[in-house]
Structure 1
Amino acid sequence: MECLPDPTSLARKLGNTLIEYHNTEESEWRVAKETKEVTVWRKPSKEFSGFLYKAEGIVKEEPNRIVDYIRPGPFRLHWDSLMTTMSIVEQFEEGCCVMRYTTAGQLWNIISPREFIDFSYTRQYEDGLLSCGVSLDYGDTRPDFVRGFNHPCGWFCVPTKDDPSQSLLTGYIQTDLRGMLPHAAVNTAMAGSLVNFYSDLKKALNS
């Protein structure tokens, strides 16, 4: 297992990687799932053999409050239906921390519960915020969980030009669930969980 990283250099590299994803040409994406409120695209990941997913939708709230519900903290565990436990392993300055969390089984437990240890970083982006993360090979693995790995991922949240009381929330997720899993099951779970993420978040913000 690796040592904890230097938070400043990792945060800078992580932020730059997410901005690179955010500037990817539209022609490179293919629609994976679409609802009235959310569109999910995907493209082959450069980090591993799976896909980089992009999700986008409008949320009727300002960026600071939305990101408070997304980043590691007291809100996230209470509304995210996929997350079952969460704890802060290390807290750094400048919006950085290391978190350990577990996720529920998916698709009738074809995908068993997973555990992740992620470095998380939140920074200003344009008129809003970027909250991003990447997994670390750090700490002991719990026997009841498969250790998953999030390659660079994150959420851009900026107010819309027409109505600053609502925000455009754009996420980039590339998760290696690991274990012996059918590719079709992983693709279905990833797209579906991103759509559910938006609906769960909106319910929490309106409660």
Structure 2
Amino acid sequence: MDYKAIAQQTAQEVLGYNQDTSGWKVVKISKKITVSSKASRKFLGNLYRVEGIIPESTFKLSDFLYQPGNRVTWDKALKVYNMVHRIDSDTFICHTITQSFAMGSISPRDFIDLVYIKRCEGNMDIISSKSVDFPEYPPSSNYVRGYNHPCGYVCSPLKELRYLSSCQLYVRGCTETWGRCLELGNIKTELKEISTLLTALNVLLSSLKLSSEYYFSFSNNFSEDIIKVLMLI
């Protein structure tokens, strides 16, 4: 299997999400977070876009999001996030185990994902991910094997204020885990799972050692903003 070619194709799909500006419907807007959705043309379900502004350089932000050793420190949706195969400096395969959701009605899933960071013109970075088959890690009876369609982050500097970065998360709203949420008719649970990624950026801000002025002005209400967005849906 040509993992590198798959990784590059996945990054191109995520870039396509970013470049396709039509059809997005704003779900909710808060002070720091905007959640939008649109019906997918490639799969059953919606594609979600979650946007925020991070007071840090794009390079440092995207590098932090990409490095596998950082993931469990800021993504509380995960119990395990291990790199199991390094392809090159920009590409690796990881094994992920999620926490349970919806008060235990959704059991932990595990995933084998191909992760790739692509540096683009204009200092824009794409961190893409997609589930793949990896013979060294076959499905286990301990977990339900999930599948992630192409998803990822697009990080880019703001033109007016280049010390700030736009961070957009693109994710499918009907993965193995979220599909169960939809069966339960619980769209809040689905979006809360997405929000854990952005809620965790509070830890990212702290870990990046931003100035106290920026850190406290940005992060004090960050989690609250996300919660308010979700509670109003």
TM-score, normalised to structure 1, is: 0.87
The alignment partner of 1:53 has SS state of strand
Among candidates 56, 63, 68, match of residue 61 of structure 1 = 56
CA distance in 1, matches of 2:117, 2:179: 33
Matched-pair contact (CA < 8 Å) for 1:30–1:41? yes
Among candidates 149, 153, 156, match of residue 154 of structure 2 = 156
* Pairs within 5 Å for 1:54-133: 54-125=49-120, 126-133=122-129
Match of 1:16 in 2: 12
Match of 1:30 in 2: 25
CA distance in 2, matches of 1:99, 1:172: 19
CA distance in 1, matches of 2:132, 2:46: 19
Match of 2:196 in 1: 196
CA gap of 1:34–1:137, structure 2 versus 1, over 3 A, is farther
Instruction: Report the alpha carbon displacement of residue 185 of structure 1 after superposing the two structures with TM.
Output: 4.8
Match of 2:226 in 1: none
Higher helix share: 2
CA distance in 2, matches of 1:161, 1:186: 38
Higher strand share: 1
Aligned amino acid, residue 195 of structure 1? S
CA gap of 1:180–1:66, structure 2 versus 1, over 3 A, is closer
Deviations 1:146-168 (A, max 9, x none): 21111011101011112211100
Aligned amino acid, residue 112 of structure 2? I
Instruction: Report the alpha carbon displacement of residue 25 of structure 1 after superposing the two structures with TM.
Output: 2.6
Give me the identity figure in percent. 25
CA distance in 2, matches of 1:10, 1:64: 23
Aligned amino acid, residue 152 of structure 1? P
CA distance in 1, matches of 2:160, 2:57: 13
Instruction: Report the alpha carbon displacement of residue 85 of structure 1 after superposing the two structures with TM.
Output: 0.4
CA gap of 1:112–1:33, structure 2 versus 1, over 3 A, is farther
Deviations 1:2-26 (A, max 9, x none): xxx3133212211221121111133
CA distance in 2, matches of 1:94, 1:203: 25
Matched-pair contact (CA < 8 Å) for 1:116–1:135? yes
Counting matched residue pairs gives: 202
Query: Which consecutive unaligned segments of at least 5 residues does structure 1 have?
Result: none
TM-score, normalised to structure 2, is: 0.78
Matched-pair contact (CA < 8 Å) for 2:74–2:197? no
Match of 2:141 in 1: 143
Match of 2:175 in 1: 176
The alignment partner of 1:169 has SS state of strand
Aligned amino acid, residue 175 of structure 2? D
Aligned amino acid, residue 187 of structure 2? N
* Two-structure CA RMSD over aligned residues (Å): 2.1
Aligned amino acid, residue 68 of structure 2? G
Deviations 1:85-133 (A, max 9, x none): 0111210125011111111112212222111110111011231311101
CA distance in 1, matches of 2:185, 2:64: 28
